[in-house]
Chains A and B, each alone.
Chain A
Amino acid sequence: MPQQKIRCLLAMLGTDVHNKGIRTLAQLLRDRGVEVIYLGEHNTAGGVINALIAEDADVVGLSYSTATYLHYTRDLLDKMRTAGVGDVPLMLGGLIHADDEPALREMGVRGIFGPGSTMDQIVEFLQTATGKTLPGGAAAGA
């Protein structure tokens, strides 16, 4: 199977500063052959969407450690749809409370990786959600 690059945009919305998880994830995904565009902390929804379009990312990942993720995620997804990029899969990580997962799924979040998630789960999600295979193929998720 031909290898196709998966371009993953990682960012934080709002003023949360708990960035060590997403920064470590960026490096771990690079190790798995994912092309990571690390947009960093303190982004607005508009900033994330501009980067998503400019970088032609296949998937977006956001990390939250504060309680405002429902608001920010809904706002981003609404604005993504308006900007015509509503079909780009969105995954969330960080401190996502299990009680909020149904609401997040309903608003269109495709992957939720809260505490206890593994790299293999994230890698498998990236391949499934983008329909692309990483170097090493399915073995990468084994």
Chain B
Amino acid sequence: MDSSGPKSNSDRSAADIAAQLEDVSVKLSRTATWSGIETQNAYGPADVEGMDYARDLGDPGEYPYTRGAFPEMYRSRMWTLRNIVGYGAPEDTREGIEKALKLGTAGVNIVLDTLSQEAVDPDHPAFSPDAGQEGCSLPTVRDLEVLLAGIDVTRTGVAWHTTMMIYPLVVAMAKKQGKDLSQLIGSHMPDHLQLRLSVGNESTVPTALGHRTTVDCLEYSSKNTPRWSLGCPQAYNLRERGVPASGEIALGMAIVKLTLRDLAARGVGVDQVAPSMAWVSGADIDFFEEVAKFRALRRIWARTMKEQFGSQDARSQRLRIACHTSGRALVYPQPLNNLARATVQTLAALLGGVQSLETCTWDEPICIPTEDARELATRTQQILANEVGAARTADPLGGSWYVESLTNQVEADALGLLEKIEGIGLIKAIEDGTIEGLMDDYNYQFKKEMDRGERIVVGVNKFIPKPEPAPKRFSFDPKGMLAHLERFRALKVGRDQTLLKEKIAQLYRAVRSGENAHPAMIEALIADASIGEVWGTVRVASGLAYDPFRVVESPFTYPTI
């Protein structure tokens, strides 16, 4: 017995003891899933009545791929352990990549700063402080050359965790280097509708222009860089913004279907582009629901490709999933608890059968990942792979009455919402705020449930820890950024202005004519136009302000057509 405590039992009031017991007890606080699906006491054969193994599940690697995309799953190809890296100047991010590779990560996802993510130059007068924060500043092909110095983009695949401009930048660099584009490998996330919804306003990424750019990108890629992977839809950000598991599937499928229909109208068939597509997904905190989501998602994808788009190629129907565990589910109070959360999310993704996986670091709610936290995220996956047995057999939860029933439920909810969105029309539902309204409402209800104690987040609305010193933050030396900005300004002065103007004029004409803008974007980037200049020109040619924030005027004179 510990006799050093401040009070003996007899000193304690009954209320004190009850409060302490409450604090250490583990109770069932919720019977619905995290997304709100009500759950029974138990499940049995009656709950999956009518399910047909061959029709609804299939063996792993067999249509409709509910049980996994590949027959031997992780025995034949292990998932790719990824880490997200990106901060400061291209030189800074390169240093971060080298460190992550030393820790044992197999693949690196490069994340760009918020300016580069939205095709805004780092010298923007209002937003320059954001340059290099939260990601790598990458405004020109020259910067990409610094970041990837010595890396052959036809031999080493880099995964770009970003939407705008990165693909034209990479293709521009490859063309400049005389590479064979048909051999270009790597991936990015060309889903501009997702970006429109993430950014939260119509002026920065207009819905219609964003969607056209996605279609342009997929068309160009399917014809020129068939080995390049397209992370479309980027459903992770949609989920994080505020939709349930079924909503992730519904919104993502709405984006994919509209994109495929518009590609078909340009003569690009499903089997020319779908094999290159991968779903960018999250893994939230509700273990069973996430496993069910991945399974339902693969089934919906397979059936949609085959039954609605007439796909005849198994590679189009077999969905590959790139997963990043949910950052939203991680919280600031007592942040080391996030290690437990991220571990469960990571296990759900693996038992759900994803193809690449990035585990959020425990300090995600505090800052961009510190090195120590990144190492723990890598170790988490290694423990799951080597000790826990997460990779041993395909779809280990398949056949569980509960998991099969939940898979059916998530699928039904997703198809219901998808039908609603398509009834309105996806573009309209985004432009008129319907989708954002759904997301705002989800977040609002989520908060209300927390306030009412119907949803417990440990450390946030229950089991609140004592105040503790704030954890240390990631920081890096800003001198690289200063030099990077200098270099950017010098490039703008020193480049071949005649060639630049010619390429910008060609881009303007291409956009105005309605043809695919990607070839002209790529040529302008090769002529050392910046991402802000290229996208600004696309905007002007689309009848919009050069700068969405109306601070910068276009430096170019555009042709009259």
Contacts and interface: CB of A to CB of B under 8 A. Distances in A.
B516 to A, nearest CB: 27
A77 B134 CA distance: 24
B338 to A, nearest CB: 12
A116 B333 contact: yes
- Tell which of A28, A40, A67, A97 has the most Cβ of chain B within 10 Å: A67
B114 A14 contact: yes
A116 B458 CA distance: 12
A42 B204 contact: yes
A24 B129 contact: no
Given A41-B199, A95-B365, A20 B130 contact: no
Interface string A35-50: 0000011101100000
Nearest to B367: A67
A66 B440 contact: no
A132 B446 CA distance: 29
Contacts, number: 90
B470 A42 contact: no
A115 B201 contact: no
A39 B559 CA distance: 36
B366 interface: yes
Interface string B78-121: 00000000000000000000000000000000000011011010
Given A17-B114, A40-B201, A66-B134, A115 B365 contact: yes
A24 B367 contact: no
Given A71-B129, A98-B470, A99-B470, A16 B114 contact: yes
A19 interface: yes
Contact of B118 (A15, A40, A67, A114): A15
A3 to B, nearest CB: 23
B224 interface: no
Interface residues of A, number: 28
Contacts of A66: 114, 130, 133-134
B333 A115 contact: yes
B88 to A, nearest CB: 12
Contact of A24 (B440, B469, B551): B440
A23 interface: yes
Nearest to A16: B114
A72 interface: yes
Nearest to B115: A15
Contact of A19 (B114, B200, B549): B200
A41 B133 contact: no
Interface in B431-478: 439-440, 443-444, 446-447, 451, 460, 464, 469-470, 473
Interface string B472-504: 010000000000000000000000000000000
Among B333, B444, B464, B548, max chain A CB count under 10 A is at B444
Contacts of B241: 19-20
Given A28-B447, A99-B470, A116-B460, A42 B130 contact: no
Interface size bucket, B side?
Answer: 35 or more
A76 B130 CA distance: 15
B447 A24 contact: yes
Interface in A86-139: 95, 97-99, 114-116, 119
Contacts of B242: 20
A97 B366 contact: yes
Given A20-B241, A66-B114, A95-B332, A14 B366 contact: no
Interface in B180-202: 198-201
A43 B22 CA distance: 45
| Interface hub of B117, B118, B549, B551 (most chain A Cβ within 10 A) | B549
B43 interface: no
Given A14-B114, A17-B199, A42-B548, A68 B129 contact: yes
A112 B120 CA distance: 30
Contacts of B328: 20
A71 B133 CA distance: 12
Nearest to A67: B133
B195 to A, nearest CB: 9
B120 to A, nearest CB: 7
Contacts of A95: 332, 365-366
Nearest to A42: B204
B436 to A, nearest CB: 8
Interface string B527-561: 00000000000000000000011010000000000
Nearest to B125: A44
Contact of B444 (A15, A27, A45, A119): A27
Nearest to B551: A44
B18 interface: no
Interface string B329-373: 001110000000000000000000000000000000111100000
Contacts of B199: 17, 41-42
B485 to A, nearest CB: 15
B21 interface: no
A24 B444 contact: yes
Contacts of A116: 332-333, 460, 464
Interface of A: 14-17, 19-20, 23-24, 27-28, 40-42, 44-45, 66-68, 71-72, 95, 97-99, 114-116, 119
9 A-B pairs with least C-beta separation: A115-B332, A15-B114, A98-B470, A44-B126, A41-B200, A71-B129, A24-B443, A68-B129, A19-B200
5 contacts: A14-B127, A23-B440, A44-B549, A66-B130, A67-B367
